[in-house]
Structure 1
Amino acid sequence: MKNFNKKIILGISAALLLLSASCTSDLDTKPKVELSLENLLAKDPNAVEGLLSKMYGTFALSGPNGPGSQDISGPDPGETAFLRGIINLQDFTADGMKNRWGDDGLDQLTTTSDWNPRNKFFRYLYDRVYYIVPQTTNIILALENVDVNNEEQIVSELRFIRSLAYYYMIDCFGKGVLVNESNYGTTVPLPESSRTELFNYVESELLAIEPSLPLNTGYGRANKSVVRMLLAKLYLNAEVYTGTPRYDDALQYISLVIDEGGYNLAENFVMNFSGDNNTSPEIIFPLIADAVVSQSYGNTTYIVNGSLGTETMPLGQFGATEGWSGHRATKAWYSLYGDLETSTDDRAALFWTEGHSYEMENYKQWTDGYPSIKFRNTNFTGTSNATSFSPTDFPFFRLADAYLIYAECVLRGGGGSESQALTYVNAVRQRANASAISAAELNLNFILDERGRELNLEGQRRTDLIRFGKFTGGTYLWPWKGNSLNGSAIPSTYNVFPIPTSALEANLNLTQNPGY
């Protein structure tokens, strides 16, 4: 049972008393409250668990009161959810996945063209980050004045949640404002912080909390391995973020995740993406979903329902009652497996081909391209009932990714063992019944392809392509890149997203990213 879901729900009533929706114009002021955090926690110290759960929940849910509620403003609450934004910005902008709905803003993402600071999907992620940051800071400050059980660990978890939000500012926008305990509540617009300044802050926060967290804090909560995984990802991309490679540091922390975390590859790849994936031994940090108590149009429901269509697919086979006919993979993803009909790779079977075309000649045509059936609502073991909302947790961090990070760091000169790197890569492949590779075949191009085979539709592809120098420019083309059927070059400007207009208007200290 996903007990953490119940904590999220139990914490909502307390959270509603304390946390008002934050938007960019509110970043330098305290949230309005009906009862001060200090007073509430003094009366009921156990309320902190609900508040903590609420902050974890903001990565998976659009708001605190069901799928129609929202923490940040937008005409469609489901569109504003963090995970939905990550899929839109990380997968649809990259090579492997496209969306056909033609929504204003979403079309521009799926064709990597005409990006501008008024695109609502850029604003949703930006506002989500600056909803999380002041709210976690507010709770941290309140805890300085009251005594609650396990306070050091709770504060560390809140600092992790805040750091994770800032990580996406670093990765997606390249700069922002730094809100923390030292300046929270000021009425003066805060100065702009550079990508390096935000990087250094997140690094310092993670290094500070890593020793204080235990190896196990319970499913869905930050522990040592979760913090180490985020540190490894920060260091893995440090050359992009700061200009200084840190592959040795990435390897140090990813090795700790592998050696000390106690995680194991799931016996079957699909186990990680099924309705009972909370039983997988591989998932290091999930975003929790539940078909009843934590419904959202923005968590894995967006992935499952968006990838199913009643015109060509049997919804019940995947435990769903709705199909939105939106998302399809392109040949840039499924061609990585070679011939899908003859491939022994289990991952090659996770595309729906019947009634669909291999080529995506029209990205707005549902039958052009193969829908991914990687995520589903059905349980991996036992029976399950079809549901409108997905019960499947999103595997935000998992061990297979850690293995591939280790191998990449070795290949990039970060130290480690080449033979161990090969062992890890082959463990990932052989779990999927793909053939083992030789040491001569293990190179960076292979790693990028293997990351695509293993991790596509998990919110990582854009970042990977940028790190490998293949996102912008014209050296690597994919269907509909640059709004062209066969792909065309896009400017280096697109390595970061534009700062939303609403943010620039709210704080005149902010400047637009070059080229927008």
Structure 2
Amino acid sequence: MKKLTAIIFLVIPLALMVQGCTKDLDTAPQVELTLEELLSQDPDAVSGILSRLYASFALSGPDGAGSSDIDDDAGESPFLRGIVNLQDFTADAMKNRWGDDGLDQLTTTSDWDENNKFFRYLYNRIYYTIPQANNLLLVLGAVDIENQDQIEGEVRFIRALAYYYLVDCFGKGVLATEENYGTSDPLPEVDRLELFTYLENELLAVVDLLPASNEYGRANKSVARMLLAKLYMNAGVYTGTTMFDEAVPVINQVITEGGYTLDENFESIFSGDNYLSNEIIFPLIADADISQSYGNTTYIVNGSLGTETMTLSDFGAEEGWSGHRATKAWYGLFNSGDLENSTDARAALFWTEGHNYEMTDYRAWTDGYPAVKFRNTFYFSDSNPTSFSSTDFPLFRLADAYLMYAELAVRGASGADMATAVSYVNAVRNRSNASSISQSSLNLDFILDERARELNLEGHRRSDLIRFGRFTGNSYLWPWKGNTLNGTSIPETYKLFPIPLTALEANENLTQNPGF
């Protein structure tokens, strides 16, 4: 049982009357009772509110898949769907064929502008979660509850996670905290460096507040350290000054102190009962009965299945949306694209029957191989197909931490040992029956490819390519990059997404990113 899921929909007398970030950052819930009164009637009230904050990364709203916390489309706008759209479809490995207004521009990494609704969706979700966290922090400061420091730490982590995607995807915005909550005047624009500094300090403080272990789906010290390590890993991109040395002790603590272990079977990490995994450090929870959403892993599972070439029940699904396919930039990394003769178990997680190796037309369902890495079947027991997915999304997991450490060692970061790095990489590879590598083979190109083999479709790829200097320009071309079959150069300005027009119109202090 996923305990966090079970309390997401506690009946709490809160009407979340959210205006959305494009209208007003003061998105205070209209509270019918004070928190003190709520606690006297329901001791679990804080847990319920906190769970709703966690759920803001996976669900669209409190009343099922058709409800929305914000004005945007309930099906298209959930946070996790935005992460997949902007981190994976804009990169090399995954493409979508639907051609929805704005989606073609993501999947071809071309013609980006401030009117694209998918940029607006993620921006609005960021600025939905942040004010809700600010409001709860203000209320927590006025009451006395059990484990108050821990609860504060969790709320601040949730807010920090939202800010991380602001820093990574948009590079600037406004810094809304409990200290300026309710300000009537538009907040000033804050640049990437100031946001980075704020986020670093927040995460350092949060680590001290959080427990070493926590319930499944809730933040602990390792969860906060993982996010801090990612911040440090990308510091060169975000600030112009690398902080690889600072990342080493943080990621090392995740690996050596977190108590996580690699699962024996790769497939189990992406199945409907993956809440049993000891590899997942922080999941975004899904449940086909309790927390239905078109934006959690339902989007990945159903979107990657099609009745024309596949049997849906084999993957625990009742619906196939015939949308997402991988390109040879991903499956070509396994045995030079000869998947049938690859010993790597990860190579078997592409559906090839009825599909073409080359993606000559990204709008054609049969061009490219669907990735069946995520599925809604249980790994450890029998299960029945459902319309929505119960597979949790592993936002952070141990294999990623291993590969982060290895990258730091290859980059020569102080404190990172190459022999240890090789052992971590081989642990990840051997788990999938891939051959071991020697230290002489461990270089940055290998690390980038191994991250693709292991972590693709998990919301990291665009950031990885930017950090490795392979996203913009023409040093690395992939199918349909720049809306060209074999790929073409794209401008440096594409390392950031444009600030949505609605946000610019709502706050005269905001300015557009260069190039848009």
TM-score (norm 2): 0.98
Specify the alignment match of 1:386 in structure 2: 385
Query: Is structure 2 residue 316 aligned with structure 1 residue 306?
Result: no
Aligned residue number for residue 330 of structure 2: 333
What's the counterpart of residue 312 of structure 2? 315
- 2:508 aligns with 508
Query: Which amino acid in 2 is paired with 1:406?
Result: Y
Q: 1:136: how far off? A: 0.5
Q: Structure 1 residues 333, 185: closer, same or farther in 2, change over 3 A?
A: same
SS in 2 for 1:98: strand
Distance 2:88 2:494 in 1: 14
Q: CA separation in 2, counterparts of 1:514 and 1:367?
A: 37
In structure 1, C-alpha distance between the alignment counterparts of 2:20 and 2:231, rounded to whole Å: 26
**Structure 2: runs of 5+ lacking an equivalent:** none
Q: CA deviation at 1:78?
A: 1.1
Give the match for residue 405 of structure 2.
406
* Identical aligned residues as a percent: 65
Deviation, 1:25, is 3.6
Query: 1:309 offset after TM fit, Å?
Result: 0.1
Q: Which residue of 1 aligns with 2:355?
A: 356
Deviation at 1:26, TM superposition (A): 4.0
Residue type of the partner of 1:503? Answer: A
1:248-290 deviation line (CA, Å, top 9, x unaligned):
1111110000000000000000010000000111000000000
Contact 1:220 1:285 in 2 (8 A): yes
What is the Cα deviation at residue 46 of structure 1? Answer: 2.7
Match of 1:343 in 2: 342
1:55 aligns to what? 53
Displacement of 1:473 in angstroms is 0.5
CA–CA distance in structure 2, aligned partners of residues 335 and 28 of structure 1: 45
1:287 aligned to 284, 288, 294, which one? 284
Q: 2-side partners of 1:498 and 1:43: how far apart?
A: 46
1:397 is the counterpart of 2:396:
yes
Q: Normalised by the size of structure 1, how large is the TM-score?
A: 0.98
Which residue of the partner structure matches residue 96 of structure 2? 99
Match of 1:182 among 176, 179, 182: 179
Q: How does 1:63-462 map to 2 (within 5 A)?
A: 63-74=61-72, 76-338=73-335, 339-415=338-414, 416-462=416-462
Contact 1:285-1:395 within 8 A present in 2 as well: yes
Q: Aligned equivalents of 1:61 and 1:37: distance in 2?
A: 26
Secondary structure of 2:332's aligned partner = helix
* 1:414 Cα deviation from its structure 2 partner: 1.2
| Residue 35 (structure 1) aligned with residue 32 (structure 2) | yes
Deviation at residue 31 of structure 1 after TM alignment: 2.1
In 2: Cα distance, 1:481 partner to 1:378 partner: 33
Structure 1 pair 286–32 and aligned structure 2 pair: CA distance change class (3 A): closer
CA contact (8 A) 2:152 2:209 kept: no
- 8 Å contact from structure 1 (residues 472, 490) kept in 2: yes
RMSD over aligned Cα, in angstroms?
A: 1.1
Deviation, structure 1 residue 40:
4.2
C-alpha change, 1:279 and 1:42, in structure 2 (3 Å) is closer
Distance 1:37 1:20 in 2: 16
The number of aligned residues is: 512
Contact 1:18–1:37 (CA under 8 A) maintained in structure 2? no
Equivalent pair of 2:133/2:156 in contact (CA under 8 Å): yes
User: In the superposition, relative to structure 1, how do residues 107 and 30 fare at CA in structure 2: closer, same or farther (>3 Å)?
Assistant: closer
- How far apart are residue 213 of structure 1 and its match? 1.2
1:371 CA displacement: 0.2
Does the CA-based 8 Å contact 1:46-1:148 persist in structure 2? no
Instruction: Write the distance in 2 (CA, Å) between the matches of 1:480 and 1:33.
Output: 47
Cα distance per residue 1:435-460 (max 9 Å; x no partner): 00011100000000000000000011
1:312-364: per-residue Cα shift (whole Å, max 9, x none)?
Answer: 00111111110000000000000001221111000000000000000000000
Q: Secondary structure at the match of 2:7?
A: helix
Q: Secondary structure at the match of 2:14?
A: helix
Distance (whole Å) between structure 2 residues aligned to residue 136 and residue 37 of structure 1: 16
What's the CA shift for 1:373?
0.5
Q: Report if the CA contact (8 A) 2:14-2:29 is conserved.
A: no
1:464-511 CA deviation, whole Å, 9 max, x = no partner? 000000101011000000000000110011000000000000000000
Q: In the aligned structure 2, how far is the partner of 1:337 from the partner of 1:420?
A: 24
**Paired residue type of 2:388:** F
Decide whether the 8 Å contact of 1:30 with 1:184 is kept in 2.
no
Give 1:209 deviation, angstroms. Answer: 1.5
Q: Which amino acid aligns with 1:429?
A: R
Report how far residue 389 of structure 1 moved: 0.3
Give the gaps of 5 or more residues in structure 1.
none
